Structure 1
Amino acid sequence: MENDFDAKDLIETWEAIGLVNPWIAEANDPTFSKYMLKRVSTLRELELLFEHGNWCLGQGFYFKNLCFINQIDDGDEWLTIKDDYAFESVTFRGIIKKGEFEAYVRRLLNATKAQCINLEY
Structure 2
Amino acid sequence: MKNDFDAKHLLDKWEAIGKKNRWIREAHDPAFDKYMLVRCATAAELEAGLKQGNWCLGQGFHFKNLCFINQIDGGDEWLTIKDDYAFESFTFSRIIERGEFKDYLQRLLNATKEQCINLEY
Q: If the length of structure 1 is used for normalisation, what is the TM-score?
A: 0.99
Q: Which amino acid aligns with 2:107?
A: R
For 1:120 and 1:74, locate their aligned partners in 2 and report how far apart those are by CA, in whole Å. Answer: 29
- Shift of residue 94, structure 1, vs aligned partner: 0.2
Distance in 2 separating the partners of 1:110 and 1:53: 26
**Residue identity matched to 2:3:** N
Partner SS, residue 8 of structure 2: coil
In structure 1, runs of 5+ residues without a counterpart are none
Which amino acid is the alignment partner of residue 119 of structure 1? L
Q: How far, CA to CA, are the matches of 1:8 and 1:49 in structure 2?
A: 20
Identity of aligned residues (%): 72
Runs of 4+ that moved beyond 2 A: none
Map 1:33-72; keep pairs closer than 5 Å. 33-72=33-72
How far did residue 63 of structure 1 move?
A: 0.0
Question: What is the rounded CA distance, in whole Å, between the counterparts of 2:45 and 2:7 in structure 1?
Answer: 17
Looking at structure 1, the residues matched to 115 and 97 of structure 2 have their Cα atoms a distance apart, in angstroms, of: 25
The 5 A counterparts of 1:14-93 are 14-93=14-93
1:70 offset after TM fit, Å? 0.2
Q: CA deviation at 1:89?
A: 0.1
State the Cα deviation string for residues 47-80 of structure 1 (Å, max 9, x = none). 1111110100000000000000000000000000
Tell me, yes or no, if structure 1 residue 120 matches structure 2 residue 120: yes
Which structure 2 residue ranges, 5 or more long, are not aligned? none
> Are residue 96 (structure 1) and residue 108 (structure 2) matched?
no
TM-score (norm 2): 0.99
* Per-residue deviation, 1:30: 0.1
What is the distance in 1 between the residues matched to 2:5 and 2:58? 22
